[in-house]
A and B are shown apart, each in its own frame.
Chain A
């Protein structure tokens, strides 16, 4: 880790510690009981895995507003596949594949139409949501109970954490390594930081961007799988507005909407901050509106911090 990214990340880490201490005192020591920590990990897992993908998109100077709809489509696809008699593993693969395909389409549209990603994915957000509703006939789809429903459940006597959480951690490590230790990762930051320079330097911009959006779709599919696991039904109306939580996690974690910055570790801390506020507020018995105000204020504070940092960099 470079000194620079350490400094960049310190703000998020301090924020995380402050939030954790405040709620630790407010709620009491039971806030950090193993069971409660696991609850928070489960709560954070869905946003977290999608936000890891979003980190790559935002680092490359893009944005993906369609992830909430993609989560819904994935739950529907998995439920339909299970109902049609596919095994749990194949059903999960189909769900994730559908989402990756959506990401691929986003990437192709962004690079070929040369329309800004905000607009393209605003459109596909509606298209994908519509497709999910159409496929599900606007209803929840009941599916047979399989081990997919246990992904976020603690198995007695088994490996410390639920399998889904291990999966999120694995994805985090893999994507962090991809960004940091591969040519692809350096190209992502180069495109996000200055696309004209990347072009001058012969970076394959179209190919890299398509790969970025596809990767984001893939990870969003994983988020959809966890969402299905939690719901145990296919729900075409789930995840409305989830894209904003996902983007917020990346921004709080030091990602910049102008591109060129963002880290998986920061994003995970960002998701953790949001989860602590959510769970802390509800366990303290604070109303939902308090939680929303606090989360909103933290997002603005994080971006204001981002402005100060980038002003220094110029």
Chain B
């Protein structure tokens, strides 16, 4: 059906794809797996016309295929079904299904034909329970996904790419989706199935392809592989030497969490300790952290931070000596339009003047101090945070926690999307905070989907799997392989 050969794509100095091959036959479901950053999304962006490759060829049914935009890709018969659905929530199912291809009669919309076409398309998928004139926003996520797939088929797409289609579906909906995929397969469609959940890949796909660091590292018929084989290919044998451990002294308990919902969490974090939370995207890690910090409702449970206990908002948590680094740097972590000084010192302006006064010169001096200590590259403390590179933005966001001098640092994906040298700097910083040295050691809680990072930094690691936080385990004896098996729910053999 379609084939990609020797696809290469670089972003600046990073080679995201380094000669990747992928082909899928009609009536075949191919699983595409790999860790975050392995190149899956880039490869699919190339396939769907969102990115132009630097090198490589693509064919569909033997004909050359080189889409320059997602619209061209759709015309050629390739449709992406993304995690975030791309439907118009205020329009009806039939309007969405036939968007841009509405039947008309004498220049006016032919509603009757629209309804008939939509009903037929949904019935063909075995989902005639979805009414064509229902408003899409009122449907469940699972039903919206069906509408999205039906739309792709209605405009004649024969190659479907599903990116993490089950991340927000329950068991029953997942089963129904699988039944639909088998039906499409029987009709001769070619399907690429991307998922972090290895047991889904082994359940639904005919063949699997593993990417790591932008290269093909293996693949074959799914029937001949175990979950363990696939995970072994995903993690490879690499262990970075970015992580140098100093001597850590476990001190008094700083953060105690018991019977905490959402997440079902129970753990104690001490001074001089780094606790990691591993888990896949969408497993509920971020939701748990946000609830822990009072940004989202807490259903039940107890939290004690130093001398403070209770469940207040972010303000109370900062006061109690706990700071959160958001995973969403652009939308929540920083105010791109404000200067570095304002971004960095917002949680603790008290030192800059008597009473409610803020003396800008003092605020700038404190910010300059952090800029020098963290090695932030900028033109000065007044430069807008939005003008900095990702790594330097992240250092500003981290410096906020240091300026506040919190005892408990909660870091959500601290190195996501930043360059290697900033990463190394942040690792050294975390190490220094945990080992203390001339200052009292801190307690650090890190969430990351990059396993080598957790294994390199953490004393203990807890796995979040489908919304439940498992008890922490000693990191010393753990391997990436074991963590990945736990996180994907494949179970250790």
Instruction: Assess the A194–B357 pair: CB atoms within 8 A.
Output: no
Interface membership of A40, Cβ < 8 A: no
Q: Which 7 A-B pairs give the minimum distances between C-beta atoms?
A: A202-B315, A193-B335, A194-B335, A2-B382, A196-B332, A202-B314, A202-B318
CB distance from A257 to the nearest CB of B (A): 13
**CB-defined interface of B87-111 with A at 8 Å, one 1/0 digit per residue?**
0000000000000000000000000
Instruction: Assess the B360–A180 pair: CB atoms within 8 A.
Output: yes
Stretch in B46-54, B252-260, B337-345 with 4+ CB within 8 Å of A: B337-345
Instruction: Assess the A314–B346 pair: CB atoms within 8 A.
Output: no
A201: contacting residue among B318, B357, B382, CB under 8 A: B318
Q: Report A170-220 residues with CB < 8 Å from chain B CB.
A: 180-187, 189-190, 193-194, 196-204
Q: Inside 8 A of A189's CB, which chain B residues have their CB?
A: 338, 342
Q: Inside 8 A of A194's CB, which chain B residues have their CB?
A: 331-332, 334-338
Interface membership of B326, Cβ < 8 A: yes
Interface membership of A313, Cβ < 8 A: yes
B337: contacting residue among A184, A185, A187, A193, CB under 8 A: A193
CB distance from A311 to the nearest CB of B (A): 11
CB distance from B384 to the nearest CB of A (A): 5
14 contacts between A and B (CB under 8 A): A180-B360, A184-B356, A187-B346, A190-B338, A197-B332, A197-B334, A197-B343, A198-B335, A200-B332, A202-B316, A202-B347, A310-B337, A313-B384, A314-B336
Instruction: Assess the A313–B336 pair: CB atoms within 8 A.
Output: yes
Q: Report B426-479 residues with CB < 8 Å from chain A CB.
A: none
Q: Inside 8 A of A202's CB, which chain B residues have their CB?
A: 313-319, 347
Interface membership of B420, Cβ < 8 A: no
Q: How many A-B residue pairs have CB under 8 A?
A: 94
Q: Give Cα A203–Cα B314 distance, bound, in whole angstroms.
A: 8
Instruction: Assess the B339–A2 pair: CB atoms within 8 A.
Output: yes
A183: contacting residue among B293, B339, B356, CB under 8 A: B356
Interface membership of B359, Cβ < 8 A: yes
Interface membership of B295, Cβ < 8 A: yes
CB distance from B246 to the nearest CB of A (A): 30
Which residues of B approach A to under 8 Å, CB–CB? 293, 295, 313-319, 324, 326, 331-339, 342-343, 346-347, 349-350, 353, 356-360, 382-384, 386-387, 400
Q: A183-B356, A183-B358, A200-B324 are in contact. List 15 more A-B contacts (CB 8 A).
A: A4-B382, A4-B384, A186-B346, A186-B358, A190-B335, A193-B338, A194-B334, A197-B332, A197-B333, A197-B343, A200-B314, A201-B318, A202-B313, A202-B319, A260-B337
Q: Inside 8 A of A42's CB, which chain B residues have their CB?
A: none
Q: Inside 8 A of B343's CB, which chain A residues have their CB?
A: 197
Q: Inside 8 A of B314's CB, which chain A residues have their CB?
A: 199-202
Interface membership of A29, Cβ < 8 A: no
Interface membership of A30, Cβ < 8 A: no
Instruction: Assess the B359–A313 pair: CB atoms within 8 A.
Output: no
Interface membership of A3, Cβ < 8 A: yes
Q: Inside 8 A of A201's CB, which chain B residues have their CB?
A: 314, 318, 346-347, 400
Q: Inside 8 A of B386's CB, which chain A residues have their CB?
A: 313-314
Q: Inside 8 A of B347's CB, which chain A residues have their CB?
A: 201-202
Q: Inside 8 A of B353's CB, which chain A residues have their CB?
A: 181
Instruction: Assess the B342–A261 pair: CB atoms within 8 A.
Output: no
Which partner residue on chain B sits nearest A3 by CB separation? B382
Q: Inside 8 A of B359's CB, which chain A residues have their CB?
A: 181
Q: Give Cα A314–Cα B330 distance, bound, in whole angstroms.
A: 10
CB distance from A207 to the nearest CB of B (A): 10
Which partner residue on chain B sits nearest A204 by CB separation? B315
A200: contacting residue among B326, B349, B387, CB under 8 A: B326
CB distance from B157 to the nearest CB of A (A): 34
Instruction: Assess the A261–B332 pair: CB atoms within 8 A.
Output: no
Q: Report A255-276 residues with CB < 8 Å from chain B CB.
A: 260-261
Q: Give Cα A110–Cα B29 distance, bound, in whole angstroms.
A: 51
CB distance from B378 to the nearest CB of A (A): 12
Which partner residue on chain A sits nearest B350 by CB separation? A183
Q: Give Cα A253–Cα B235 distance, bound, in whole angstroms.
A: 56
Q: Give Cα A182–Cα B382 distance, bound, in whole angstroms.
A: 17
Instruction: Assess the B295–A199 pair: CB atoms within 8 A.
Output: yes
Which partner residue on chain B sits nearest A256 by CB separation? B337
Which partner residue on chain A sits nearest B293 by CB separation? A200
Q: Inside 8 A of B337's CB, which chain A residues have their CB?
A: 193-194, 260-261, 310, 313
CB distance from B376 to the nearest CB of A (A): 17
Which partner residue on chain A sits nearest B381 by CB separation? A2
Q: Inside 8 A of A183's CB, which chain B residues have their CB?
A: 349-350, 356-358
CB distance from B396 to the nearest CB of A (A): 12
Q: Report A239-297 residues with CB < 8 Å from chain B CB.
A: 260-261
Q: Give Cα A161–Cα B130 distance, bound, in whole angstroms.
A: 73
Q: Inside 8 A of A199's CB, which chain B residues have their CB?
A: 295, 314
Instruction: Assess the A4–B339 pair: CB atoms within 8 A.
Output: yes
Q: Give Cα A181–Cα B338 distance, bound, in whole angstroms.
A: 16
Instruction: Assess the A198–B357 pair: CB atoms within 8 A.
Output: no
Which partner residue on chain A sits nearest B324 by CB separation? A200
Q: Inside 8 A of B357's CB, which chain A residues have their CB?
A: 181-183
Q: Inside 8 A of A190's CB, which chain B residues have their CB?
A: 335, 338, 342, 346
Q: Inside 8 A of B384's CB, which chain A residues have their CB?
A: 4, 313
Q: Inside 8 A of B315's CB, which chain A residues have their CB?
A: 202-204
CB distance from B358 to the nearest CB of A (A): 6
Which partner residue on chain B sits nearest A193 by CB separation? B335
Which partner residue on chain B sits nearest A187 by CB separation? B346
Q: Give Cα A190–Cα B386 distance, bound, in whole angstroms.
A: 14
Q: Give Cα A204–Cα B319 distance, bound, in whole angstroms.
A: 13
Q: Give Cα A201–Cα B350 distance, bound, in whole angstroms.
A: 14
Q: Give Cα A197–Cα B384 distance, bound, in whole angstroms.
A: 15
Q: Give Cα A187–Cα B326 distance, bound, in whole angstroms.
A: 19
User: Which interface residue of A200, A260, A261 has the most chain B CB atoms within 10 A?
Assistant: A200
User: Which interface residue of A4, A189, A197, A314 has the most chain B CB atoms within 10 A?
Assistant: A197
Known: A181-B358, A181-B359, A199-B314. A313 touches B387 (CB 8 A): yes
Known: A190-B342, A193-B335, A314-B336. A181 touches B360 (CB 8 A): yes
Q: Give Cα A187–Cα B315 distance, bound, in whole angstroms.
A: 13
User: Which interface residue of B293, B332, B347 has the most chain A CB atoms within 10 A?
Assistant: B332
Q: Inside 8 A of B326's CB, which chain A residues have their CB?
A: 197, 200
CB distance from B43 to the nearest CB of A (A): 28
CB distance from B461 to the nearest CB of A (A): 25
Which partner residue on chain A sits nearest B341 by CB separation? A2
Q: Inside 8 A of B358's CB, which chain A residues have their CB?
A: 181-183, 185-186
Q: Inside 8 A of B295's CB, which chain A residues have their CB?
A: 199-200
Q: Give Cα A180–Cα B313 distance, bound, in whole angstroms.
A: 27
Instruction: Assess the A186–B349 pair: CB atoms within 8 A.
Output: yes
Q: Give Cα A190–Cα B385 distance, bound, in whole angstroms.
A: 12
CB distance from A4 to the nearest CB of B (A): 5
Q: Give Cα A187–Cα B342 distance, bound, in whole angstroms.
A: 9
Which partner residue on chain B sits nearest A261 by CB separation? B337
